[in-house]
Chains A and B, each alone.
Chain A
Amino acid sequence: MIELRQVYKTFYGEKQVDALRGVDLKIPAGKIYGIIGQSGAGKSTLIRCINGLETPDHGEIIVDGVDLSRLSSIELRNARKKISMIFQHFNLLSSRTAAANIGFPLEISGVDKSAIKARVNEMLQLVGLSDKANSYPSQLSGGQKQRVGIARALANNPQVLLCDEATSALDPETTKSVLQLLAEINQKMGLTIVLITHEMRVIQEICDYVAVIENGQIQESGRVIDVFTSPRSSAAKRMLQGTMNTQIPQDLLQRANLNSNGKQVFLKLSFVGSLAHEPVISSMLKKYAVEANILFGKIDQIKDIPFGMLFLEVSGEPDQIEKALKYVQDHNVEMEVISNA
Chain B
Amino acid sequence: MPSTIMVNMLWTATLETLYMVGVSVIIAEVIGLPLGILMVTSEEGHILENFWLNKILSFIVNVGRSIPFIILLVAIIPFTRFVVGTSIGTAAAIVPLTVAAIPFAARVVESSLKEVDSGVVEAALSMGASPWQIIVKVLLPEALPGLILGFTLTAVNLVGYSAMAGTIGGGGLGDLAIRFGYQRFRGDVMLYTVIILVVLVQALQMLGDKIARKVSRH
Contact = CB atoms under 8 A, between A and B. Distances in A.
A87 B67 CA distance: 45
B77 interface: no
Given A109-B128, A156-B127, A91 B122 contact: yes
A138 interface: yes
A144 to B, nearest CB: 15
A95 B128 contact: no
Contact of B127 (A81, A89, A94, A137): A81
Interface in A125-160: 136-138, 156
Given A89-B119, A91-B120, A93-B120, A80 B126 contact: yes
Contacts of B129: 77, 108
A264 interface: no
A306 interface: no
A166 interface: no
Given A95-B141, A95-B217, A80 B127 contact: yes
Interface in B85-140: 117, 119-120, 122-130, 133, 137-138
Contact of B123 (A81, A85, A109, A138): A85
B126 A77 contact: no
A84 interface: yes
A104 B129 CA distance: 10
B190 interface: no
Given A91-B119, A94-B218, A138-B217, A108 B124 contact: yes
B51 to A, nearest CB: 14
A93 B128 contact: no
B93 to A, nearest CB: 37
B217 to A, nearest CB: 4
27 contacts: A53-B122, A53-B125, A78-B128, A79-B128, A80-B125, A80-B127, A80-B128, A81-B128, A83-B126, A89-B119, A91-B119, A91-B120, A92-B123, A94-B218, A95-B141, A95-B144, A95-B215, A104-B127, A104-B137, A105-B127, A108-B128, A108-B133, A108-B137, A109-B128, A137-B217, A138-B217, A156-B127
Across chains A and B, which 4 residue pairs bring their CB atoms closest together, nearest first?
A80-B128, A91-B123, A91-B119, A85-B126
Given A53-B125, A53-B126, A84-B127, A96 B120 contact: no
A85 B123 CA distance: 7
Contacts, number: 67
Interface residues of A, number: 29
Nearest to A105: B127
B213 to A, nearest CB: 14
Nearest to B121: A91
Interface string A88-124: 0101111110000000110111000000000000000
A51 interface: yes
A107 B137 contact: yes
Contacts of A108: 124, 127-130, 133, 137
A77 B128 contact: yes
A79 B125 CA distance: 11
A121 B199 CA distance: 49
Interface residues of B, number: 21
A198 B104 CA distance: 45
B44 to A, nearest CB: 10
Contacts of B175: none
Contacts of B29: none
Nearest to A156: B127
A91 B127 CA distance: 12
Contacts of A87: 119, 122-123
A84 B124 CA distance: 10
A93 B126 contact: no
Nearest to A95: B141
A140 to B, nearest CB: 11
Nearest to B118: A91
A104 B142 CA distance: 14
Contact of B218 (A85, A92, A138): A138
Contacts of B215: 95
Given A87-B119, A108-B133, A138-B218, A96 B126 contact: no
Contacts of A105: 127-128
Interface in B123-176: 123-130, 133, 137-138, 141-142, 144
Interface string A276-305: 000000000000000000000000000000
